[in-house]
Amino acid sequence: MRIALLNLVFVGVGGFFGSIGRYLLGGAVYQIFPNLYFPIGTAVVNIMGCFLIGFITGLAEVRNLLGPEMRVFLLIGLLGGFTTFSTFSFETVALLRDGAFLTALANVLIQVIIGISAVWLGFNLIRYI
């Protein structure tokens, strides 16, 4: 029971910081590209989150550097709060409702393909560091 409660604290604290990071980074990207109709802030956050989850998993599995509590904090808490798949889905539906079918399709293809590639890159990069 104590371990489960401690894990809830790790998830909650990590989620708190991850959500703040998502808000700040997404906002900064939208400030850089204020007139872009494409949801670039969400895309940047999701792709970065995908890379980080691959990289941190590589640290944990390949280098055996992270204990189970740190994995819970980083992977479930921090990156769970940081990545924005629900926002990605909502924005894609909004694009479809607005009739921006090609932009919606581009949003899905770019985020899924680059996101999966970023996980792979992050996981495999750790072997060379």
Closest CA relative to residue 70, chosen from 127, 126, 5, 6:
6
Residues 84-121 have pLDDT tens digits of 888 899 899 999 999 999 999 999 999 999 999 999 99
- Stated pTM of the model: 0.81
Number of domains in the chain: 1
C-beta separation of 10 from 78 below 8 A: no
pLDDT above 90 as % of the chain: 84
Q: Whole domain around residue 69: which residue ranges?
A: 2-128
Alpha carbon 12 to chain centroid, angstroms: 16
Structure tokens, 91 = 């924005």
